[in-house]
Every structure is written in C-alpha cells, then in structure tokens.
Amino acid sequence: MEHTWASGAIELLRHADSHVHLQTAFDRRIAFISIDHSVETSIRAFLSLPTSKSGIKVSHKDVEAAENSFPGLVSLLWKHVGNRLTGIDEADIEHYHRTRNKLYHDGTGLSVDEQYLLAYRQIAILLLKNLFGVSLGEPKRAPTLERLIVLWYQVEEAYNRWLGRPGRPVFIPFTMRKLRRLAMSSLTPFGPA
C-alpha cells in the first residue's frame, strides 16, 4: 500500500520523535499527544480507504457513526481488521488515549513516564506497519546544542590523541572548522538534511 495514505500519521510520529529524547516533561507530553494523534489519524485514514486499497469493506454509515468517538473508531477497526493487529490490544490504545486526554485537557503540567511514551509509540509503529506496510523503526535522537557540544568535544579529543597531545587545547585547522560549519548547517530535527 502506498505511503500517501499514511503520510499524515507518519508526519505526526516524526514530530513526536523530535521530542521523545529531549527529557523534559513538556517534550514528553507533546510527544505523547502527537503519538496519539498519529494513532487516531492512522485509524481514520485506514477506515476511510477505498476497498481496493484496504482490502476491506467498511460502510460510510459505520465510519460516520464512529466519527466522533475514538473508542468507536477503535472498535470498528478491530471488527474489520483485528486479524491484522496481532500484538496490539485495543484496550491499550483506549487506555493511552484516555491518558492523552488528561495531558491535553487538564493542563496540569503533568507528563508521562518514558516507558509509557515508548510503548505507545511502538503501538503507532505497529499500526502503520500492519495497516499501511510502513516501517519507521526507532526514533532518532533530536540534535540539541548540548549533544553537539559533547560530540564536538569527542572529535577534538580524538584529534588531539591522533596528534599525540592528549588533554591540551587544540588548534583546529581550517578543515576542522569547515567540517564544524558544515555539521551545524546540516542539522534538522530528524537528522542530517
């Protein structure tokens, strides 16, 4: 199946990935909300596909009846393609969605544990794979200034060892400065441009 049908869910999951490893309560909350939105988008998109693309026949009447009910959409999905969703429990999706509602609507500043976040992300990944044939894998670490500083320190340290001058300040030749500028200009939220 083409990735076009899943593009919205993929974008939302990539947005979540840009927040997953940033380690603040805000970033975990935003990542969790984006993952939930990705799950919901996957379900809605799949149920709305033409039969020729999905391999199932879901009446427009049934989709419209469940349109404003997340549990209704999940139930409709399981009714039609439960056999494709091995390893995913519909009750887990509903539980995570209720958690997302608390985070989104209560506005208390609370967040979710990283294991919850990564578990729900894995469900989103499995939905994309089982419904659309899309494999995304593990989230890439978002580049941060802190990470760049640590990586640059490691480059300088290795360069000094190579020159036989460990622990001494290094004069960075022109090529190293050029490499640093190139690395800084090619950083995007999802890795190299």
The region, left, alpha or beta by phi > 0 then psi within -120 to 50, assigned to residue 148 is alpha
Q: For the chain, give the percent of residues with pLDDT over 90.
A: 15
The amino acid occupying position 120 is: Y
For the purposes of burial, counting CB atoms within 10 Å of the CB of 100, is it exposed (0-12), middle (13-18) or buried (19 or more)?
A: buried
- Reported as a single tens digit per residue, the pLDDT across 138-192 is 655 555 555 566 676 677 667 767 776 665 555 555 455 555 665 666 554 444 4
Q: Is the predicted pLDDT of residue 37 greater than 90, yes or no?
A: yes
Contacts of 92 by beta carbon, 8 Å cutoff, 6+ apart: 119, 123
Contact 40, 73 (CB under 8 A): yes
b/e map of 34-54 (b: 16 or more CB within 10 Å)? bbbbbbbbbbbbbbebeeeeb
What DSSP state is assigned to residue 189?
T
Using only C-alpha atoms, the chain has a radius of gyration, in whole angstroms, of 22
Residues 6+ apart with CB under 8 A from 43: 73, 74, 77, 127
Whole-model pTM over 0.75: no
Under a CB-based contact definition with an 8 Å cutoff, are residues 41 and 19 in contact? no
> Per-residue pLDDT for 59 more than 50?
yes
Contact present, 33 and 104 (Cβ < 8 Å): yes
Structural domains of the chain sorted by starting position, each given as residue range(s) with its CATH number in brackets: 3-132 (1.20.120), 145-192 (no CATH)
Long-range contact pairs involving 143-148 (C-beta distance under 8 Å, separation at least 24): 143/187, 143/188, 143/189, 143/191, 144/22, 148/183, 148/184, 148/187
When the pLDDT of each residue in the chain is averaged and rounded to a whole number, the result is: 78
Q: How many CA atoms lie within 13 A of 9 on its CB side?
A: 28
